[in-house]
Amino acid sequence: MTYIDPNISRRWHRLVLGAAVLGISALLTGTSAGAASVDKAPFGKTQDGKAVDLYTLTNDKGASVKFIAYGGIITAINVPDRWGKLDNIVLGFKELADYESKNPYFGALIGRYGNRIGGAKFTLDGTQYQLAANNGPNSLHGGSKGFDKAVWAVEPLTNVSGAAARLSYTSKDGEEGYPGTLTVQVVYTLTNDNELRIDYEATTDKPTVVNLTSHSYFNLAGDGAGGIGDHILTINADRYTPVDATLIPTGELASVTGTPFDFRQGMPIGARIRSNDPQMVYGRGYDHNYVLNRSDSGLSLAARVYEPRSGRIMEISTTEPGVQFYSGNFLDSTLVGPTGQQYRQTDGFCLETQHFPDSPNKSSFPTTVLKPGETLKSTTIHKFSTDAS
C-alpha cells in the first residue's frame, strides 16, 4: 500500500539538505517549539446576528488548526513541508458571509446524515420520514440546514497530548425531518505529533439515523497551489459502492480490480480521472464510497496521500466502515479563497470517513440507526508528516 519515490538518490539529497536548513526555516516561518495553546478571536456575525468566534489550536511544534463555531468549519490546517515551511493545506474562505452563502461544505461538520439519502426519504420502525431534497431528488449532508450551518457551542479543553476543544450542538426532534432530539459532541485535538484527531459522540431520545463526518477539501501542496492530480493516493479498500446517475448507491459492493477505483497500491489522483467508465461520468470524476478493509471495529488505516512537491504525507485512520473519496469535481472557478485564488475543478480532494450513503434505505449496509440508551462513538485521525520525517 505504500508509495515509494522511485528516485532514491534525489530523495536522500533532499533529506540531508532539509535537515541542514530546518532550523533556519523554522525561524522564518514561526514553527519554533512552544507550549500547546487554544486561542479565540471574533470572526463576525451570521446573517441573523449570532456572534461567531475563530479558534486556533496550536501544538508544541507550531503546527495549527483553525476552526469557527459556525458549522464547526475547519478554515485552515497549517503543517510543515519537507523543509519545515508551514502552509495551509485546506480550502476555505476569508469571510463568514462566504461560508454562509457559497460554501460547498468546505471544512464543515456534517450531520445529521453525511452524504446522500435516496429520494430524500427513509422508513424507520414503520414510519416514513420525508427530508429536504437539496441534491436533485435526494437529500445531501443533512438537508437544507444541516449541522454545517449551525453555530456550535465551543469549550477549550486541557489536553496533555496537544491542544483541544469540544464542540456541542443539540438537534431538535423534527429538525430537517429527522426524528428524535439528537445531542452531539465533537472534540478536535491537534496532538504534539501533528495529528488532527476528531472524536464524535451522539445520543438520542427517539430512534433516528445518524452519519457524522468532516468535509475538509485538502491540497497537500498548499491552498492555492494548483490541482491535486499528482497527489499519490492509497485507499485501503478492495470494494466500493457503485452509484446510479443521481449518485445513490445501487446496493452492490463491487470489486475495485480492473477499474479506475483501484487505489490499493497508490496512484496519482489524476491518472484515470478522465476515464469513460460510466461511474466516473456520473460523478464527473471521483465521488464514491469505499468499503474499507477492516478486521475489527477499532481504528484502522483508511487512506494515505503523498504530495511529491512538498513531501507532505497525510494518513487517515478511522473507526468508520467507509470513506467517500471526492475529487472536487464541482469546483468551477466561481469560488475565491482567502488569498484571492480561484478554486477550479480538482483543486482539492475530500476523504470523508463515514457509514455508507443511503444506508437507511439499504438493509444490507451497516446500520446507521441510533436508539435511546445507546451512544454513538466514532473517531478519525489525520496524521501529517513528510518524506523528510
Among residues 215, 231, 355, 382, which one is catalytic? 215
344 belongs to a structural domain? yes
pLDDT digits (tens, 9 = 90+) for 316-329: 999 999 999 999 99
pLDDT digits (tens, 9 = 90+) for 170-202: 999 999 999 999 999 999 999 999 999 999 999
Alpha-helix runs per DSSP H in 64-131: 96-101
- Placement of cell 495551509 in the chain: 88
2 belongs to a structural domain? no
Helix, strand, coil abundance in the chain, percent, nearest 5: 15, 40, 45
pLDDT digits (tens, 9 = 90+) for 121-175: 999 999 999 999 999 999 999 999 999 999 999 999 988 899 999 999 999 999 9
Contact criterion met (CB below 8 Å) for 160 and 190: no
Domain, as residue range, for 364: 8-386
Q: Is 100 one of the annotated active-site residues of the chain? A: no
Query: What secondary structure letter does DSSP report for 176?
Result: G
Contact criterion met (CB below 8 Å) for 165 and 352: no
Number of domains forming the structure of the chain = 1
Among residues 231, 352, 355, 382, which one is catalytic? 352
Q: Is 13 one of the annotated active-site residues of the chain? A: no
| Length of the chain measured in residues | 389
- With a pLDDT cut of 70, the percent of the chain lying above it is 91
Provide the pLDDT for residue 19: 40
1 belongs to a structural domain? no
Please provide the average confidence, as pLDDT, over all residues in the chain.
92
143 belongs to a structural domain? yes
- Please compute the mean of the pLDDT values over residues 358-366 and round it to a whole number: 98
Rounded CA separation 276/260 (Å): 10
Q: What is the CATH number of the domain that holds 157?
A: 2.70.98.10
pLDDT-based confidence at residue 92 (cuts at 50, 70, 90): very high
pLDDT digits (tens, 9 = 90+) for 285-302: 999 999 999 988 899 999
Rounded CA separation 357/322 (Å): 9
Closest by CA to 91, choosing from 330, 316, 348, is: 348
104 has a pLDDT exceeding 60:
yes
3-state secondary structure of 389: coil
